[in-house]
Structure 1
Amino acid sequence: MESLEQNIIRTEYSDVMQKSYIDYAMSVIVSRALPDIRDGLKPVQRRTLYDMYELGIRYDRPYRKCARIVGDTMGKYHPHGDSSIYEALVVMAQEFKKGLPLVDGHGNFGSIEGDGAAAMRYTEARLQKITQETFLGDLDKNVVDFLPNFDETEKEPEVLPVRIPNFLVNGSEGIAVGMVTSAPPHNLGEVVDAVQAMIKNSKITDEELMQYIQGPDFPTGGIVVNKDDLPQIYKTGTGKIKIRGKVEVEQLKGGKERIVITEIPYTMLGANIGKFLNDVASLVETKKASDIVDISNQSSKEGIRIVLELKKNADAQNLINLLYKKTRLEDTFSVNMLAVCDGKPETMSLRNVLEHHIDFQFELATRKYRTLLNKELSKKEIQEGLIKACDVIDLIIEILRGSKSQKQVKACLINGETEGIKFKSKESEKLAAALRFTEAQATAILEMRLYKLIGLEIEALMKEHEATLKNIARYEDILNNYRSMAKVIIKELEAVKKEYGTPRRTVIENAAEAVYEEKKPVETEVVFLMDRFGYAKTVDVSVYERNREAADSENKYVLTCMNTDKICIFTDTGKQHTVKVPDVPYGKFRDKGTPIDNLCNYDSAQEKIVLVECLQRVKGAVLLFATAQGMLKQVEGSEFDVAKRTIAATKLQEGDEVVSIADMKGIEQLALQTRQGFFLRFQAEEVPYKKKGAVGVRGIRLGEEDVLEAVHYLDASCEGTAVYKEKEICLKRLRIGKRDTKGTKTRV
């Protein structure tokens, strides 16, 4: 019991949670979501590439099933589920996502339009040549540290010895805990030129670096239109890049034109192409782009081709500007060049990225050439021993013949110990005692075959020794001389650029803001129709006149208004919702229309419509508001001409709701009717004018559990009748009373 109590740690719960969360966050940041600045790879990408290398799936060998690669990677290095590994593998093979694909995929690896890759059991893959040579080429030269895998049964590289700044070339996207990385891809040739320039001149300015790296180079091409913002973005590592698709205008017969989109913004990849087409269709439906008569996606393996057919004499440039303003044809790429550096996340400027890359390259080169130097020194030692042995070969043969064991021979060759060895003469014994070969040399001599004593073989050994001495001198020069090492790194980079460099695809420029001149619609009169289910539409006045009887019987609300007007919807919750008439679908009489809930913030499940009227008539009116608790007020209609889609049209007390709203024009008297049968008739002028934010005044004194049920509006010519429990009541015969009284009880 005592030992149990000793193991209990008493601590604040919040401290434990904080520590646990920080540990989790750092694990996600470092081990999963963010790339390492040295090789520009996330752990899942690094492990997948290394596993392919270990399995021997090289660029010049047959493809292997992706399921094999994924299973092996998961079992050995990345125990986080097969879907994350396969998704990483697929992305590294997609040319439209990576400026420099690292995997050569065979089969269905998805499309630019968002189609997913086939299942891993169908697709195959192998390493790209550049990946094998530039990312994995020097792993056998002890250039990086190897760490134990998750169960300590295998070793995996801490980082891959990548020779190019992959973080810049391929970019990176990832969401960690509380942070996100988003680095755009760049042109390989430009990045290599910038690295070479910085190696040659470490004090190079940011402006001079920008002469080499013009800006991002997206696989989808497109146009970066805010060139002047790029220096600040690269200086801070954060910012927003504006990109546009590439658009051409093609001339057709008969004076017609069509807009052809041949390149899309990088952010439009995948399902966003479909969304773009839907957005264009919506612009056509709402008559904002009525000059577009047809939309077709003619994209293929050859490239993007989205065609918009135009009416004759349409303003193509104005329509292009509309697409830039209203769709994702112009979009923003948010830059946040965040990467793991020295085990912690850090936002990098362009200079920081290049400096870290160059430091990494010098570290790789140092370890590589130190390894090569040690190998050459070992070769030199053995070669010198064999050359020396050839000069005294007769003596060595005599030692071999006179010895009883290999151990005895080795002792003689290394230390000159002659005891127990039979020699032909004292002179031989004396010469043998002077021998001082190293252990490695002695082993090589014992393993040497007799054919090595042929004259040509000895000559080849001498030449090989000369080559080894030259290599040693070269490696020592590289290791001891900064310029020599820099020259080697620059030469390797130049070779990569020459073999794998591609022309720039993205245009960098400063473009003017897209200005769309919206054509003012011809103001005409239309009829707004809304049925009892809330489906609304507008039709031409002539169409309504031809179908007046059916329209009036089938629809709950029928309003004549202008096509530039707004429709005001007042509800029992005291809200006013506004709908622009151009947003209401215009068409044939038998068209179903669109639910009014989709055109404004009205919620048919939570509120009921009390009044529907066009704004022009509301502005010229004085509206009476009456609530269930008997509160009344008059409000000038101009107060309801607002820009917001939803406002509070009146203030309600707790548990109250609007019962009636009406225009007071020509109304002389009001007759209030309650649920319990009380009627109160009084002059309309007794109701004061209030602001829309006021509660109002009491119109009738209500009994317990009684509520105002209806308001009857009486003008000079109207007798007015009401029905209470199936009894018709003539309102003009009611005694005229005063507001805020109880009224008269109707006897049934």
Structure 2
Amino acid sequence: MQDSQIIRTEYSEVMKKSYIDYAMSVIVARALPDARDGLKPVQRRTLYDMHELGIRYDKPYRKCARIVGDTMGKYHPHGDSSIYDALVVMAQDFKKGMILVDGHGNFGSIEGDGAAAMRYTEARLAKITQEVYLADLDKDVIDFVPNFDETEKEPEVLPVRIPNLLVNGAEGIAVGMATSIPTHNLAEVVDAVKAYMKNDDISTRQLMKYIKGPDFPTGGIVVNKDDLVSIYESGTGKIKLRGKVDVEEMKGGKKRLVISEIPYTMIGAGIGKFLNDVCNLVETKKTSDIVDISNQSSKEGIRIVIELKKGADVTNLTNMLYKKTRLEDTFGVNMLAVANGRPETMGLKRIIEHHVDFQFELTTRKYKNLLAKEQDKKEIQEGLIKACDVIDLIIEILRGSQSVKDARACLTKGITENIKFKSNISRKMAAMLRFTERQANAILEMRLYKLIGLEIAALMKEHETTLANIAKYEDILNNYDSMAAVIMEDLDQIKKEFGRKRRTVIENAEEAVFEENKIEEQEVVFLMDRFGYARTVDAATYERNKEAADSENKYVLHAMNTGKLCVFTAGGKMHQIKVLDLPHGKFRDKGLPIDNVSNYDSTAEEIVYICDAEQTRYAKLLFATKQGMIKKVDGQEFQVAKRTIAATKLQADDAVVSIQVIIDNQQVVLQTKDGYFLRFAADEVSEKKKGAIGVRGIKLRKEDELEHVYLFEEGTETKVMYKEKEVTLNRLKMAKRDGTGTKTRA
């Protein structure tokens, strides 16, 4: 039995160490791309697995389920969904600057539709991936490391020959940090890399002569060109993006706006939200110029059509769309990647610098490997050429040898003891032979047809080629300019084959300014029935239908159409509603639940009081709660911009039962559930802030609670009903606040 050892340590220290380990694992080994190949581990492993499975761009597609399963079993011991999601994104041309996977089947859409299940879809490597990302894997240019269970080897990094971090961008959320790198144009990035290689003192501003700015696959317009220099120098900042809007003429002098390109940030659910936002502009009467909106997008591209009424102000409406919808949006840039094993925020020049260093490392390893192979070939070729010159002697050695071992010993060391020769001259000449081991093996394996004159000539020519290659490779390895020329020539070929025109326009645009339709201010009447459906009607319409309106509605309130309504709840909250957000029309038109235009929740809250925010500004509000707490609050405290605030503070199990406008010369009567009435002067109620609980208005007996609050002016006869008995309030005994009140028999 092994001795167990208990290690005593501070719990917080264990937690701290464990959390830091976890955070670094997520940062380095999952969420952030490597600065060298611009790939996250899951992307790198998926591409490598496809390469290993032989799913080349010129081979048949294979099921994605096979790729995902193989990747998960060999290299990526996480959920299959994370692998498939990464595979799908690499195949979506609306998300990546250059797709790395050629997908076959339903791989989702720009409008946010998800890809089909992996058992239905198929994929293979894209041509650029095969030729630019994976081509030199067999040339020992990168290190291989053990996989998670040390049964396989996987590449530490892929030998990518372009700055993939810039070309395809990156998005990822780690622990305490996130990366967001926009996509760029391949041709421009290649030109910038070449410019840096020619002059490594080049500034970011000079690099931007080649890289104009981001180039998003969805096109669009970057409108803050002047901010790009600071963004590319620091690696962080905000890019303002707009969709492309064209104006098309229609019959009858009408026009329509056609959105053919969208901001990159609108991909997915953003398109549906944009359509809803445009509809909302019409419903809230922010604009009356829009007649219809339709999404006519297809495989050919985005086409969102907004039909306008005749005489519409196109410029003003376009600017409104930029301001009020996501047709103008912000792309937050944070160019964070793992460099030398650590997360680093890098500017444009730093990313290119990392890439170029990586390319020189790859090229050095590649040509060292090629040089070693050529030197091996040279050694063997020289041995065969030399053997051809003394072929008769070699044949004599082979015929006179008892074993291959004796023949090899003679060829390499000149040992002739165990070999029969025709003459002593042959023996002396054989003793002088000093072929290398490789040369001797090549001679022993050489076939007789190699002695044909043409074959010997071909060998001589091949030897010349080998010598030329050795000289070339040594020059590349020993001369910076020669190696740089090779890298730049490679980049030119990549640019020629895979480069494309820029999609995103870069410019400085003026701030979008528009004039909203000025709403004519008028008095309206707010009507809300007992089911919570609310609407507004003209004051004249209300007067004509006053009797029906008052009898059918729980709340009837005069207000201005440009104002706001305050809705106070039993839970002590105040919700604000813009009067314009409510439907306005005919008397018998159906209303709208106020839940739809405010934060009020009819399933969990009860309305106690509704008032016009402007009328409340100069008033005092009397708050009374179930537990008998009362206070006066200045109406100014409810003049706020927020849609929902705490209107009062409540004790445990308490609720607001009444809110009313109060003036100092009034009398207050508090009535409890058990029939106790307490009358006192209004000036006895303390004025408090909305965040206060208040003061006790009446002493409640056990199981009793405050039910009603009545206000009346002294000298006026006011009658109320309590359990079918009439109570005259002004005849009640005058008392002080915080009394027990007088019992009224039902």
Q: Where on the TM-score scale, by shorter chain, does this alignment land: which range?
A: over 0.9
Matched, 1:137 2:135: yes
Greater mean alpha carbon deviation, residues 630-639 or residues 398-407: 630-639
The 1:590/1:51 distance shift into structure 2, 3 A limit, reads farther
Alignment partner of 1:709: what SS?
A: strand
Q: In structure 1, what is the Cα distance between the partners aligned to 2:128 and 2:108?
A: 22
Deviation digits for residues 263-288 of structure 1, max 9, x if unmatched?
A: 01111111211111112122221111
Q: Could you say which residue in structure 2 is the equivalent of 1:430? A: 428
The alignment status of 1:110 with 2:105, answered yes or no, reads no
Q: SS of the residue aligned with 1:522?
A: coil
Matched residues in 1 for 2:6 and 2:662: separation?
79
* Contact 1:530-1:556 within 8 A present in 2 as well: yes
3-state DSSP of counterpart to 1:212: coil
| Cα drift, residue 425 of structure 1 | 1.1
For residues 684 and 397 of structure 2, the distance between their equivalents in structure 1, rounded to whole angstroms, comes to: 136
Equivalent pair of 2:714/2:730 in contact (CA under 8 Å): no
Question: Is contact 2:664–2:682 with CA below 8 Å preserved after alignment?
Answer: no
% of aligned pairs identical?
73
Is 1:345 aligned with 2:321?
no
Quote the Cα distance in structure 2 between the aligned partners of 1:45 and 1:522: 58
Q: Which residue of 1 aligns with 2:359?
A: 361
Distance 1:409 1:264, change over 3 A: same
Greater alpha carbon shift after TM alignment, 128-137 vs 71-80: 71-80
Distance 2:345 2:461 in 1: 53
Q: 2:565 aligns with which of 564, 567, 576?
A: 567
SS of the equivalent of 1:248 reads strand
> 2 CA distance for matches of 1:701 and 1:77?
74
SS of the aligned residue for 2:209 comes to: helix
Q: 1:400 and 1:642, CA in 2 relative to 1: closer, same or farther beyond 3 A? A: closer
- Give 1:159's match in structure 2, choosing from 157, 160, 165: 157
Q: For the residues of structure 1 that align with 2:420 and 2:629, how far apart are their CA atoms?
A: 132
Q: Secondary structure at the match of 1:117?
A: coil
Write the mapping of 1:65-144 to structure 2, written as runs, cut at 5 A.
Answer: 65-144=63-142
Within 1, Cα distance between the matches of 2:539 and 2:671? 37
- For 1:4, the equivalent position in structure 2 comes to 3
User: Which amino acid is 2:380 matched to?
Assistant: I
Find the aligned partners of 2:446 and 2:697 in 1 and give their Cα distance: 121
Pick which of 213-222 and 7-16 moved more.
7-16
Encode CA deviations 1:226-254: one digit per residue, 9 max, x unaligned.
11111111111111111111111222233
CA distance in 2: counterparts of 1:699 and 1:145, whole angstroms: 81
Aligned pair partner of 1:419 in 376, 399, 417: 417
Q: 2:466 aligns with which of 449, 465, 468?
A: 468
CA contact 2:665–2:683 (8 Å) conserved in 1: no
2-structure distance, mates of 1:153, 1:620: 79
Q: Give the structure 2 partner of residue 49 of structure 1.
A: 47
Q: What code does the residue aligned with 1:4 have? A: D
Give 2:341's aligned amino acid.
G
One-letter amino acid matched to 1:351:
K
What is the distance in 2 between the residues matched to 1:117 and 1:316?
38
| 1:97-246 alignment, distance < 5 Å | 97-246=95-244
2:476 corresponds to which residue? 478
Counterpart AA for 1:453: L
Q: Which of 299, 303, 316 is residue 314 of structure 2 equivalent to? A: 316
Which residue pairs with 1:26 in the alignment? 24
Distance (Å, rounded) in 2 between the aligned partners of 1:369 and 1:658: 83
**Do the aligned partners of residues 642 and 24 (structure 1) sit closer, same or farther apart at CA in structure 2, a change above 3 Å counting?**
closer
In the alignment, the residues of structure 2 paired with residue 183 and residue 632 of structure 1 have an alpha-carbon distance, to the nearest angstrom, of: 58
Are the counterparts in 1 of residues 287 and 517 from structure 2 also a CA contact under 8 Å? no
**Worse overlay, 140-149 or 642-651:** 642-651
CA distance in 2, matches of 1:120, 1:694: 59
**CA distance, structure 1, for counterparts of residue 503 and residue 220 of structure 2:** 7
Residue aligned with 2:3, SS: helix
State how far apart, in whole Å, the 1-side matches of 2:83 and 2:693 are.
Answer: 63
Post-superposition offset of 1:106: 1.5
CA displacement at 1:544 relative to structure 2: 4.3
Compared CA separation, residues 318 and 456, structure 1 to 2 (3 A): same
Q: Does the Cα contact within 8 Å between 1:666 and 1:715 map onto a contact in 2?
A: no
**Aligned residue for 1:402?**
400
Of 601, 609, 612 in structure 1, the residue corresponding to residue 610 of structure 2 is 612
Match of 1:281 among 269, 279, 282: 279
SS at match of 1:211: coil
User: Contact 2:28 / 2:338 at 8 angstroms: preserved in 1?
Assistant: yes
Distance 1:171 1:679 in 2: 74
Name the aligned partner's letter for residue 422 of structure 1.
Answer: K
Question: What amino acid is aligned across from residue 304 of structure 1 in structure 2?
Answer: I
Give the Cα separation in 1 of the matches to 2:666 and 2:22.
Answer: 74
Q: 1:440 to 1:652 in 2, by over 3 A?
A: closer
Letter in 1 for 2:18: S
CA distance in 2, matches of 1:297, 1:685: 63
Amino acid at match of 1:251: E
Contact 1:667 1:713 in 2 (8 A): no
The 1:701–1:420 alpha-carbon spacing in structure 2 relative to 1, beyond 3 Å, is closer
Q: In structure 2, give the amino acid aligned to 1:365.
A: T
* Count of aligned pairs between the two proteins: 746
Cα distance in structure 1, aligned partners of 2:625 and 2:99: 69
Aligned-pair RMSD on alpha carbons? 2.6
Instruction: Structure 2 unaligned segments of length 5 or more: list them.
Output: none
Cα shift at 1:482: 0.8
> What are the ranges of 5 or more consecutive residues in structure 1 without an aligned counterpart?
none
Provide the rounded CA distance (Å) in 2 between the counterparts of 1:78 and 1:471. Answer: 40
Letter in 2 for 1:726: E
| 1:639–1:403 distance in 2 versus 1, CA, 3 Å | closer
Q: How many angstroms apart in 2 are the aligned matches of 1:432 and 1:717?
A: 144
Between the aligned partners of 1:498 and 1:568, the Cα distance in structure 2 is 66
Which of 234, 243, 267 is the matching residue for 1:269?
A: 267
Deviations 1:672-723 (A, max 9, x none): 4344434345565666777766776766565666544333334578532222
Change (3 A) 1:738 1:126: closer
- Distance change in 2, residues 1:9/1:310 (3 Å): same
Task: Map 1:545-694; keep pairs closer than 5 Å.
Answer: 548-587=546-585, 589=587, 592-604=590-602, 607-619=605-617, 621=619, 623-628=621-626, 637=635, 640-647=638-645, 649=647, 657-664=655-662, 669-681=667-679
